[in-house]
Amino acid sequence: MRVDVISIFPEYFAPLDVSLMGKARDRGILDIHLHQLRDWTHDVHRTVDDTPYGGGPGMVMKPEVWGEAIDVVIAEALAGAADAAGPSVPGAGEARAGLGVPGEAGDEAAHEGLLLPRMIVPTPSGRPFTQEVALEYAKEPWLLFAPARYEGIDSRVMAEYGSRLRVDEVSIGDYVLAGGEAAVLVMVEAVGRLLPGVLGNAASVADDSFAPGAMENLLEGPVYTKPPSWRGHDVPEILLSGHHGKIARWRRDEALRRTAAKRPELLARLDPEGLDKRDRQVLDEIRGRADTSGG
């Protein structure tokens, strides 16, 4: 997957060199390109913001700068992908090889067939970013993130690119940040770990909280490792039993109980078709307790 990020703080994305995302990049699974928005300004002050029409506090990011930045980033990525795919004239490949020009083989950034990116603008007024959205983005070959600062980007930028490519205004939660960069880090990590070959164990994705299927709208239960007893706290005996069927059932019970305790609003979203007899029994016990405690 190719990811472009245009920001006035490209250095904010240094954490993407670390750990799982760093490895995904080293392996060429995740190809992240960072761009300084101010590179597309034309004034000595490299101005990216201006006062809001209609008045009010704060500043708004200027549309012309974003427009040039997005146009050039897309055009250069497409030109690079065409280069990497090689010449369409038969025989020219040998000429290129003779000149020592790198071809597609061994070219880690050889994105063939890039059309247009999906553009993602983080904003508190956007659609909620969920595991479902992360899975959807993980299927895309190319994402372009446009994190704003100040009070946001002039809305005409989203209108313009909304008619040229797919634009999503997305929120990672109901709070206001100082800018969209931290939200981009969150989204790139949530999407990046879902890319084929990034996680060692594909099963761990299916068992995640919120994963489509059995864990949809459920939180994962508690986890434990050695030692079996620590400061008087014992690992639940069932986990030491080696009874894999019973362990799976206990984990599901705990997921249901934890979801009821911490995110009761999620229970209403459980698919009744996805609940077995024991699931319903656990939920009845939880509701019974809730009903008696309420009086």
Q: How far is CA 7 from the centre of its chain?
A: 17
**Nearest Cα to 263, choosing from 255, 271, 253?**
255
CB of residue 153 to ligand JAH, shortest distance in Å: 8
Nearer to ligand JAH, 50 or 234 (CB): 50
Contact 73, 144 (CB under 8 A): yes
Q: How far is CA 3 from the centre of its chain?
A: 11
Q: How far is CA 189 from the centre of its chain?
A: 5
Spatial neighbors of 208 by CB under 8 A, at least 6 apart, are: 131, 215, 220
CB of residue 189 to ligand JAH, shortest distance in Å: 15
Nearer to ligand JAH, 117 or 147 (CB): 147
CB of residue 145 to ligand JAH, shortest distance in Å: 11
CB of residue 259 to ligand JAH, shortest distance in Å: 23
Helix (H, G, I), strand (E, B) or coil at 67: helix
Nearer to ligand JAH, 36 or 171 (CB): 171
**Nearest Cα to 36, choosing from 77, 60, 68, 1?**
68
What are 7's strand-pairing partners?
Answer: 36
Give the residue numbers annotated as catalytic, written as ranges: 124, 151, 193, 208
Q: What angle do CA 55, 59, 61 make, to 5 degrees?
A: 120
Which residues contribute to the site for ligand JAH (CB under 6 A)? 122-124, 148-149, 152, 171-173, 176-177, 179-180, 183
Nearer to ligand JAH, 59 or 275 (CB): 59
